[in-house]
Structure 1
Amino acid sequence: MNQFLILAVLASFIIGRLIGTRLSYAKQIGASLLSVVVTSAIFWFTYVRDHPSSSPGINEMWWLISIVIVSMLFYLLLEMFDPLPLGERGDRLSESRNPLARLLAWMRRQHRYAQVLFIAIRHGVGRNLAVRRTSFTDRKLAVSLRKMLEKCGGFFIKFGQVLSTRSDLFPPVFIEELSHLQENVARLTTKQIESILAKELPEPKDELFSYFDMEPLAAASIGQVHRATLRKNGKDVVVKLLRPDIIFLLRRDLDILIRFASWASRRSAWARSIGFLDLAKGFSAAMKEETDFRIEARNLAQVSAAMENSKTKVRTPKVYPEISTSSILVLEYMEGVSVKKGAALLSERGIDSRLIQQEIFDCVMAQIFFQGIFHADPHPGNVYIMQDGTPALLDFGSVGRLGTLQQDALKRLLIGFEQRNAYVIMDSLLQLTETKQEIDKEGLEQAISQLLVQIAYNVTGNSDAFIQGLFRIISEFGLAFYPMVAGVFRSLITLEGTMLQLNPDFSLLGEIKRFAKQYLSEFLPVGSVDDIRKTAENELIELLPVLRRLPRRIDNLGTMLEKGELSVKVGFFSDKTNSSFIAKWIAQLLLAFVGLAFGGISIGLLYLGEAQPAEGFSVLSMFGYAGVLVSSILLIRVAIHAIRELKVDR
């Protein structure tokens, strides 16, 4: 019996693979065990109890077949109620191949997920997500979300801090509540610091540094920063240390965060409309990059190289790659203060803080519009004012990159904004966004025109009205910014808050207009008469092959019209999306048809087998039961595919 029990569980597990399920291994094993228990109970009460004298072999064969069929039903039920959409499993961060380690990680993750879900329910996040959005419920949801993130701690707090910069997506009440989130991070012990340095440095600490301060300058959730002095040249440096347990916490919390975002998106149309799940995924990807200091060193080197040919006075720290690793980053120490205290320092030095503000703003704008690589998180802690008044950018863990097409479209957007030209803005937006539906261009241009009128008389100079209005229009017309383009807007919004620390009268829209006017000649593809002539020559060279073929094509078109041979071909299947959709569903229909055919033929074979007097199973009955099994597998596979498609569409 034990052998048959193992065989039943194994057969049920194999069937799960055959029907194409994507459930986790734990759920597949659970479905198999559950099917054995349920089938055994039903089989005992409906058959074995009333036929105790029947052949054991026949009983066990019936039992095994019943288990396989019931297990398929359990797989189908679990697919229907699986808590994660069926394409999100690639976002899980459990990378260990050791089955025991994976099991322990799964148990810890389930415990943490249950803890987060309980905290969310206790603070009313689910209840407030489900209700219709009003200003009152916005306040309740914002408060409950902030309390929930605070209670969860870890990367949930950092996620809330990132959301507090998204004034393009969230109402002001959310920004206000989430901006109160503060990290309470325990500092590393001296023993932990010594252990990290001994493990990561290429040489002993005392041979590399003549001085190393064990008291950190700053501590955060990912790591902490220490001041040191290099022994070989006496240069002061800062040493960033990655927390030793950060990878485990990162994998655990980000996996749970994505699952929570998925849960929230299923419960709330509002959460789906703002792309809450996509926000969580983007945050997850950014955090994974920030936990590898080699990426930050590369970003810093690329931004510094791009700034070499610019006229900016903004500095970036030098990196020491020879003693930096994925867990340790050694940078030049830049003595100064954060931008929050920068105004007082500049006042002491007799330097106009407005000029420094313009210098920093123009530097970031030049990175976006001319260099194509920009600091994506210029919050006040990442902008420094050095003792001599020179501004500096720090912490390049988050960097955005733009292609030339996106840069050109952003330049046209800026020109259109400065000239208040709705058509130019619309044309540039269509190049900066992606869409899955037909665009009402006239309606889009009208909406942009109305927005320009609204901001023309914005006496406060606040950018929120324009940014939120622009994102609202984008959403209403079924558009979505490409991720890096959205990163540009996030960077500018963050930069606005930073610049207000130096200049209380700072206006993002006003500074954008000033920058556009100042660099208008560099935005345009032509400037002098020679530039115009050269551009015209290049365009003519590109058009020359087309112009040469044009008379022949016109002649061919006239000949076809004269003979009545002109026809119009509408290619529905020329679109890959359409052809893929049709092919996919035809395949599913064929699979369902084959499953039904197998079922019908198998039922006929079972009928013929039962009609023949024979001991035990006849050959026809065996083929009949095998056919029923194949039919069930095919039909359940079609059902699972349909459920999966519904989840993706939802």
Structure 2
Amino acid sequence: MNPFDLISNAGRAREIATVLIRNGFADLLQRLEPPAGWMRRFVPAPEAHLNTWERIRKVLEELGPTFVKFGQILSMRPDVLPEPLILELRKLQDRVAVQPREAMEPVLRAGLPRPPEEIFSEFDETPVASASLAQVYFARLRDTGAAVAVKVQRPGIRATIEADFEILEWFAHQAHRRVSELRPYNLPGIMNELREGLERELDFRIEARNADFFNYQNPAPEEVFAPRPYEELTSRTVLVMERVTGRKLDSFEPGSEMAVSLAQTGARSIFHQILVSGFFHADPHGGNIVVTDDGRLCFLDWGLVGQLTRRMRYTLVDLFGAFLQGDSGQVVRIAMDLGRASHTSRDIRHMEREILFALRETLNPATGKGQIGRALLRLLHIFGSYDIEIGQDYALVAKAVLSVEEVGTALDPDFNLQSSFRPAVEALLRERRDPMEMWRAFRRSLVSGVARLQDLPAEMHRVLRSFEEGTATINFQHRGLEDLDEAINDASNKITVGVIIAALIVGSSLILTTDVRPHLFGFPLIGILGYLLSGVLGLWVVFDILRRRRR
């Protein structure tokens, strides 16, 4: 998106700029080189008593539900964002006005296979929950009488997100080019991931399939479950699921027998999902959990899940064991294998020291006590700062562990995370060390290796043939030339404007030698206007050159 594209979203862009400046980010906005005149128009005083991370959260909250959702998704990237910002983004709350039923009706009708009155015998007018992307209503099915919850996407939310994304992508590219401190975070890449994540959350069919899959492989339905979706009534914009009622976790007395039991049950389930099943709820905070009347835990909102392969789960257990023992060297070796990165021995020593310091600050390996979730966040951020890309699913694991730790501690002041994930670790180790499983893994590797050997002659022949025919190509990728490319474009634009100015001056001079009417002060008006236009363009070029030189 170039600056001229901002015109189509001028109102929203102006609002974003105003909020940024009001919260103390005028210097950052100036470095992004926004269209001329913005900085003079928006000069409200910032709130100086907030730190940088709090101001970022405040900016997102002020900009509305779309940006709140952006922040919530960003909080799942501890590998690229610092821990204090991750913790602050987790405080983001949806503060959105409830849409009236009349506004939601077109979306509801378009998303159902039949008219609502044919499907539901009852449908509440007032939503029981309202978030940035959707509202939830209670209803009752006409054919079976079953009580259901209906999640309806907000009207126009896709268009709103698309417009905000155009502006955000412009900011991200400008920041990546012009703010060297932000370059390591690869903001354009993060924006692409945000867009993909939101696209998945906006498709309610994915959420229905996720909940259904969890119930299918859940080993303890008597303890935990997900609402059963009605897939035949579900579409991209409407989700019909089993109605689940009960108590929120914060309604239980901390330290009570019931609260302690719920903390253990929830933690065991999440770690079983992560380490044994490899399919887990990625955001199990207190607001997404309900305790039913029969004492079962219900995990709500399956729009965001993580998935781990068998190899990823084995590596994750090794990583857990290394950092719980305080073995920074082993943590680094596992991280290098995860990211397939190559670093000098000096980089490795620096990384080991940073990891050791982070572990000692958040965890006591001798007693196993400490903040394991925060320790994981710190580890992933250190990995990211050394260009070790570990994959989003590991980042989702860290976020899920942090949520479990926070919820568990709120329910049970003596909550011990290690005792909660030990059963899942032991189950995974039994699977990993099982002789039959080891034999199956060896057989799979052997078959795969033989297949590659069989393909090797054909692949070698293909490569040699391409050289023989002269069709072999070598691709080179230049890096770090963004500033040069921008400088060339800027120079080309100035040369073009200079040629236009020269043409205006020559043309106006020729017109002044004629008697073309109308006249002004005895000279042809068209010639005078040509001189004035060339003068304005010339002053603009001089001003732009001086402005860039000051920077």
CA contact (8 A) 1:338 1:384 kept: yes
- Partner in structure 1 of residue 303 of structure 2: 397
- Partner in structure 2 of residue 127 of structure 1: 27
- Partner in structure 2 of residue 340 of structure 1: 250
Q: How far apart are the structure 2 equivalents of 1:484 and 1:534?
A: 24
Which of 437, 441, 462 is matched with 2:371 structurally? 462
1:306 aligns with 2:217: yes
Is the alpha carbon distance of 1:142 and 1:338 closer, same or farther for their aligned partners in structure 2, counting shifts above 3 Å?
same
Unaligned runs of 5+ residues in structure 2 are 32-46, 450-472, 480-551
Q: Give the drift of 1:466.
A: 2.0
Between structure 1 and structure 2, the one with the greater Rg is: 1
Q: Give the drift of 1:375.
A: 1.0
CA contact (8 A) 1:117 1:260 kept: no
- SS class of match (1:187): coil
Is the alpha carbon distance of 1:540 and 1:459 closer, same or farther for their aligned partners in structure 2, counting shifts above 3 Å?
closer
- Partner in structure 2 of residue 220 of structure 1: 131
CA contact (8 A) 1:299 1:399 kept: yes
Work out the number of aligned pairs and report it: 440
CA contact (8 A) 1:296 1:396 kept: yes
Q: Give the drift of 1:159.
A: 2.4
Q: How far apart are the structure 2 equivalents of 1:327 and 1:542?
A: 43
Q: How far apart are the structure 1 equivalents of 2:170 and 2:204?
A: 27
Q: How far apart are the structure 1 equivalents of 2:234 and 2:226?
A: 17
- Partner in structure 2 of residue 153 of structure 1: 64
CA contact (8 A) 1:406 1:431 kept: no
Q: How far apart are the structure 2 equivalents of 1:414 and 1:518?
A: 12
Query: Could you list the per-position Cα deviations for residues 496-526 of structure 1 after superposition, in whole angstroms to 9, with x for gaps in the alignment?
Result: 33333322333xxx41465236632532555
CA contact (8 A) 1:130 1:267 kept: no
- Partner in structure 2 of residue 378 of structure 1: 284
Identity level (%): 28
Q: How far apart are the structure 2 equivalents of 1:317 and 1:465?
A: 30
- Partner in structure 1 of residue 314 of structure 2: 408
Amino acid at match of 2:27: R
CA contact (8 A) 2:111 2:238 kept: yes
Amino acid at match of 1:392: C
- SS class of match (1:479): coil
CA contact (8 A) 1:312 1:363 kept: no
Q: Give the drift of 1:224.
A: 0.3
- SS class of match (2:303): coil
CA contact (8 A) 1:165 1:493 kept: no
Unaligned runs of 5+ residues in structure 1 are 1-23, 25-81, 85-102, 547-577, 585-650
CA contact (8 A) 2:227 2:242 kept: yes
Amino acid at match of 1:262: H
Query: Could you list the per-position Cα deviations for residues 337-356 of structure 1 after superposition, in whole angstroms to 9, with x for gaps in the alignment?
Result: 22222x25996xxx532222
CA contact (8 A) 1:212 1:228 kept: yes
- Partner in structure 2 of residue 360 of structure 1: 266
Is the alpha carbon distance of 1:463 and 1:320 closer, same or farther for their aligned partners in structure 2, counting shifts above 3 Å?
same
Q: How far apart are the structure 1 equivalents of 2:28 and 2:441?
A: 59
1:486 aligns with 2:395: yes
CA contact (8 A) 1:129 1:267 kept: no
Which of 271, 276, 291 is matched with 2:202 structurally? 291
- SS class of match (1:481): coil
Q: How far apart are the structure 2 equivalents of 1:383 and 1:377?
A: 10
Equivalences for residues 497-516 of structure 1 within 5 A? 497-506=406-415, 510-512=416-418, 514-516=420-422
Equivalences for residues 64-83 of structure 1 within 5 A? none
Is the alpha carbon distance of 1:298 and 1:255 closer, same or farther for their aligned partners in structure 2, counting shifts above 3 Å?
farther
- Partner in structure 2 of residue 206 of structure 1: 117
Amino acid at match of 1:203: R
Is the alpha carbon distance of 1:406 and 1:419 closer, same or farther for their aligned partners in structure 2, counting shifts above 3 Å?
same
- Partner in structure 2 of residue 322 of structure 1: 232
Cα RMSD of the aligned pairs, angstroms, is: 4.0
Amino acid at match of 2:402: I
Equivalences for residues 177-326 of structure 1 within 5 A? 178=89, 181-307=92-218, 309=219, 313-326=223-236
Is the alpha carbon distance of 1:325 and 1:545 closer, same or farther for their aligned partners in structure 2, counting shifts above 3 Å?
closer
Q: Give the drift of 1:452.
A: 4.9
Amino acid at match of 1:214: E
CA contact (8 A) 1:378 1:494 kept: yes
- Partner in structure 2 of residue 388 of structure 1: 294
CA contact (8 A) 1:414 1:516 kept: no
Is the alpha carbon distance of 1:397 and 1:423 closer, same or farther for their aligned partners in structure 2, counting shifts above 3 Å?
same
Q: Give the drift of 1:467.
A: 2.6
Amino acid at match of 1:394: L
Q: How far apart are the structure 2 equivalents of 1:442 and 1:396?
A: 41
Query: Could you list the per-position Cα deviations for residues 440-460 of structure 1 after superposition, in whole angstroms to 9, with x for gaps in the alignment?
Result: 556655655565555326897
Q: Tell me the TM-score normalised to structure 2 length.
A: 0.68
- SS class of match (2:97): coil
CA contact (8 A) 2:276 2:427 kept: no
Query: Could you list the per-position Cα deviations for residues 364-419 of structure 1 after superposition, in whole angstroms to 9, with x for gaps in the alignment?
Result: 11111122221112122111111221101011111122222212211222233445
Structure 1 stretch displaced more, 537-546 or 414-423: 537-546
Query: Could you list the per-position Cα deviations for residues 219-240 of structure 1 after superposition, in whole angstroms to 9, with x for gaps in the alignment?
Result: 1111100001112111110001
Q: How far apart are the structure 2 equivalents of 1:537 and 1:212?
A: 53
Q: How far apart are the structure 2 equivalents of 1:541 and 1:223?
A: 45
- Partner in structure 2 of residue 112 of structure 1: 12
1:429 aligns with 2:335: yes
Is the alpha carbon distance of 1:123 and 1:538 closer, same or farther for their aligned partners in structure 2, counting shifts above 3 Å?
closer
Amino acid at match of 1:244: P
Q: How far apart are the structure 2 equivalents of 1:345 and 1:210?
A: 40
Amino acid at match of 1:482: G
- SS class of match (2:250): coil
Is the alpha carbon distance of 1:383 and 1:130 closer, same or farther for their aligned partners in structure 2, counting shifts above 3 Å?
farther
Q: Give the drift of 1:481.
A: 1.8
Amino acid at match of 1:285: E
Is the alpha carbon distance of 1:263 and 1:456 closer, same or farther for their aligned partners in structure 2, counting shifts above 3 Å?
same
Q: How far apart are the structure 2 equivalents of 1:287 and 1:542?
A: 37
Q: How far apart are the structure 2 equivalents of 1:298 and 1:202?
A: 18
Amino acid at match of 2:226: T
Q: How far apart are the structure 2 equivalents of 1:465 and 1:288?
A: 29
Q: How far apart are the structure 2 equivalents of 1:184 and 1:534?
A: 50
Structure 1 stretch displaced more, 288-297 or 111-120: 111-120
Q: How far apart are the structure 1 equivalents of 2:305 and 2:329?
A: 31
Q: Tell me the TM-score normalised to structure 1 length.
A: 0.59
Is the alpha carbon distance of 1:519 and 1:310 closer, same or farther for their aligned partners in structure 2, counting shifts above 3 Å?
farther
- SS class of match (2:283): coil
CA contact (8 A) 1:364 1:375 kept: yes
CA contact (8 A) 2:289 2:298 kept: yes
CA contact (8 A) 1:130 1:268 kept: no
Q: How far apart are the structure 2 equivalents of 1:219 and 1:526?
A: 44
Q: How far apart are the structure 2 equivalents of 1:463 and 1:267?
A: 36
- Partner in structure 2 of residue 638 of structure 1: none
Which of 400, 404, 412 is matched with 1:495 structurally? 404
Amino acid at match of 2:239: L
Is the alpha carbon distance of 1:525 and 1:445 closer, same or farther for their aligned partners in structure 2, counting shifts above 3 Å?
farther
Query: Could you list the per-position Cα deviations for residues 232-269 of structure 1 after superposition, in whole angstroms to 9, with x for gaps in the alignment?
Result: 11111000111121111111112222322333444544
Is the alpha carbon distance of 1:436 and 1:312 closer, same or farther for their aligned partners in structure 2, counting shifts above 3 Å?
farther
- SS class of match (2:224): coil
CA contact (8 A) 1:432 1:485 kept: no
